[in-house]
Amino acid sequence: MKKFSVSSIISVMKRKYYPVFETGDYNINTVGIRSIMNDETGEVQADRFNDCLCVFYKVKGKWKLYTYKAATVPGIYYLQHPMLPEFGTAILAPGFYRGAYTLGLHYGLPALQQVGLLRLYRDTTRDMVLDLDGRTVQ
Render pLDDT for 78-104 as a digit per residue (tens, 0 to 9): 989 999 999 989 988 888 998 898 888
For residue 38, name the pLDDT band (cuts at 50, 70, 90).
low
Portion of the chain with pLDDT greater than 90, in percent: 41
> According to the model, what pLDDT value does residue 36 have?
55
The Cα 61–Cα 65 span in angstroms is 13
For residue 21, name the pLDDT band (cuts at 50, 70, 90).
very high
Q: Nearest to residue 35, comparing CAs of 6, 80, 2, 10?
A: 2
For residue 61, name the pLDDT band (cuts at 50, 70, 90).
very high
CB 90 within 8 A of CB 120: yes
Q: Nearest to residue 124, comparing CAs of 75, 80, 93?
A: 80
- 42: pLDDT strictly greater than 70: no
- 41: pLDDT strictly greater than 80: no
Q: Nearest to residue 123, comparing CAs of 70, 71, 72, 84?
A: 84
Q: Taking the model in full, what pTM does it have?
A: 0.78
> According to the model, what pLDDT value does residue 12 have?
96
